[in-house]
Amino acid sequence: MSPPLRFLLVCLAGAAGTGARFLVTTGLLRWLGPAFPSGTLTVNLVGSLLLGVIMELALHGAVGPDTRVVLAAGVMGGFTTYSSFNYEALGYLQRGAWALFAGYLAATVLGCLAMGALGVAGARWLLAG
């Protein structure tokens, strides 16, 4: 598959993943209410499961490289980026790289919380200005 075609397919697959995420999260919000982020949790759990399946099948040749990229980077990338984090962290655990696992986990969780807080503060600053 040519690089431009691969890029186009990843973009289209990402749109499908994003649409699926929207349907799941809004559907669960309507069904279960806003007290707990059930939709976000669901897409992160399901996305982690599906990315694990895709990558393992690809490692064993059951899914070709082009299909893997379209499904993993496209569909799963649009559906949830947590699945990528989960797969990478799991790889550190499987290799026994405990320090890298702990560092990646801490940097992701704490770093994302800090950057989210910084984004909120920055937006509030812009709105106040």
Q: Binning pLDDT at 50, 70 and 90, where does residue 88 land? A: confident
Which structure tokens are listed for 56?
């393992």
Question: What's residue 99's pLDDT?
Answer: 96
Which range is least confidently modeled, 18-32, 53-67, 109-123?
Answer: 109-123
Question: What's residue 36's pLDDT?
Answer: 85
43 touches 75 (CB < 8 A): no
70 found inside a domain: yes
Give the predicted TM-score (pTM) of the model.
0.77
56 and 112 within one domain: no
91 found inside a domain: no
Which structure tokens are listed for 37?
């982020």
Greatest mean pLDDT among 39-43, 70-74, 120-124 lies in: 70-74
75 and 115 within one domain: no
The mean per-residue pLDDT over the stretch 3-19 comes to 97
The mean per-residue pLDDT over the stretch 92-103 comes to 95
Q: At what angle do helices 98-128 and 82-94 cross, to 10 degrees?
A: 160
Q: Of residues 14 and 108, which shows the higher confidence score?
A: 14
C-alpha span between 90 and 96 (Å, rounded):
10
13 found inside a domain: yes
89 found inside a domain: no
Which structure tokens are listed for 82?
């947590």
103 and 73 within one domain: no
43 touches 80 (CB < 8 A): yes
Annotation-wise, does 77 bind a ligand? yes
90 found inside a domain: no
Question: What's residue 62's pLDDT?
Answer: 93
77 and 101 within one domain: no
Question: What's residue 119's pLDDT?
Answer: 86
72 and 120 within one domain: no
How many domains does the chain divide into?
A: 2
76 touches 54 (CB < 8 A): yes
The mean per-residue pLDDT over the stretch 62-74 comes to 95
SS (H, E, C) 43-100: HHHHHHHHHHHHHHHHHCCCCCHHHHHHHHHHHHHHHCCHHHHHHHHHHHHHCCCHHH
24 and 55 within one domain: yes
92 found inside a domain: no
Give the residue numbers spanning the domain of 51: 3-82
